[in-house]
Every structure is written in structure tokens, then in C-alpha cells.
Amino acid sequence: MTLIAPDTAAAFFAVSALLALSPGPDNVFVLMQSAMRGRSAGLLVVLGLCSGLLVHTAAVSLGLATLFAASTLAFTALKWVGALYLLFLAWQAWQAPVGQLAAQPMHDAGRLYRRGIIMNVTNPKVSIFFLAFLPQFVMAERGSVAVQVLWLGFIFMLATLLVFGAIALTAGSLGQALVRSARAQQSLNRGAAVVFAALALRLAMVQH
């Protein structure tokens, strides 16, 4: 028996795509990284973010997300790790020299990919969101709940990959035009720093 009914999968995919389009830390992060460093860099960040979703999916499937939902200490610790990482990115963007962001060398691919993973995994709200969202599409009569959650996580990841990938390609094209001007590039760097700092503040103010 199919674990996820086709109509359920289609509905879940549509809702996931709409959620990926709604403004949030992850798609803003993709937007800024793509505009600053180009399409390839943005797509690497997207792959990292989607890999982070695998961690959240596994956490919900194994019940680990319940720990973060119940433990104020675990939630707060992860929240501050994420906020500090965003502040680090803000400092990097503010200090970035003009003329060195237009083309990101491929040896930085691993760093960009890891940046996406860290950005996603250190946001405790994602785990709690998955804990609340995914089970709504699970039907116990269709088999293993844990396996259904994994399938839903993969569908969510596919929707995110498509939406964020489109954002990366669009913002990357815009960024390519902007970085031809040193003044525009500096403004982009400073703007990215402000955005990252604002995201850090927003995450730090999240209540359990």
C-alpha cells in the first residue's frame, strides 16, 4: 500500500511551495547570498539549506524535535548559536572587500554548502514547525508514521529546492549586474550585513 496518497502528496507539495515563497530567514538568506556571490553560490547555499531539512525531518521522525519543543534550555541554546552565526555572517559581509564577491571560486563550494546547513539546522523554529506541520498529513491507516514523515520531509525539501533555486537564479542575475559597480557592490555588502544582523535579532527574540 502506498504510504502517501497522491492527492495528499500533491496538496502537501502545494502548501510547501507557498510556505517556501513566504518571507523568512532562509529565503532571504538565499536572496542575499545569490545577489552578493552569484547564481552558483546561491544554489550551493540552497543545497545546504535542503540538507538541513533532512536533519529536521529525521528529528521529527525519531521524536527528537519533541525535546526542543519541551526543553527551554535546548531551544534557547540552539537559538543563540543560530543568532551568533548570523552576526558572524553580518560582520563578514560588512568587512568584505569590494571587487571580490562577483565570482565565487569553486574551492569555496564546501564552505557555502556548509553555510546553508548551519543556517537551517541552528533555527529551532524549523524543527518545531516540522513537528506541528508534517503530522497533519500523516494517516495512521496507511502504514508506518515515521516513514510517512520521511516521505513528507522529502516532498517539502523538493518544493524548497525548486522555489529557493528560482530565487537564487533570479537574484544571482541581478547581482551580476550590480557588482559591475564598486559603489553598488559596497552598498550590497552593507545591505546584506544589515539584513543578517536583523535576522539575528529576530531569531534572538523568538520565545519558546
Q: What is the mean pLDDT of each run of 10 residues along the chain (208 residues)?
A: 77 89 82 85 94 89 67 76 80 69 60 90 80 77 80 93 94 70 67 78 74
Our count of domains for the chain comes to 1
pLDDT attached to residue 113: 94
Angle at 65 between CA 73 and CA 153, to 5 degrees: 150
Count, residues in the chain: 208
Region of 63 (left: φ > 0; alpha: ψ -120 to 50; beta: rest) is left
The pLDDT value recorded for residue 1 is: 47
Q: What is the pLDDT of residue 81?
A: 80
Residue 151 within a domain: yes
Domain membership flag for residue 13: no
Residue 46 in domain: yes
2 domain-assigned: no
d(CA 177, CA 55): 36
DSSP secondary structure of 18-51: HHHHS--HHHHHHHHHHHHH-HHHHHHHHHHHHH
| Residue 34 in domain | yes
Residue entry with cell 496507511: 142
Nearest to residue 156, comparing CAs of 130, 131, 132? Answer: 130
| Distance set, CA 20 to CA 23, 51, 89, 156, 189 (Å) | 8, 15, 22, 9, 24
pLDDT at residue 166, as a whole number? 94
CA distance 48 to 162: 14
Rounded CA gap, 86 and 81, in Å? 9
Integer Cα distance of 140 and 39 in angstroms:
42
* pLDDT score, position 85: 78
Distance of CA 82 to the CA centre of its chain: 12
pLDDT at res. 174: 76
- Parent domain of 140: 27-95+105-204
pTM of the model: 0.75
Q: Is residue 70 part of a domain?
A: yes
Please check whether residue 126 lies inside any domain of the structure: yes
Residue 84 lies in a domain: yes
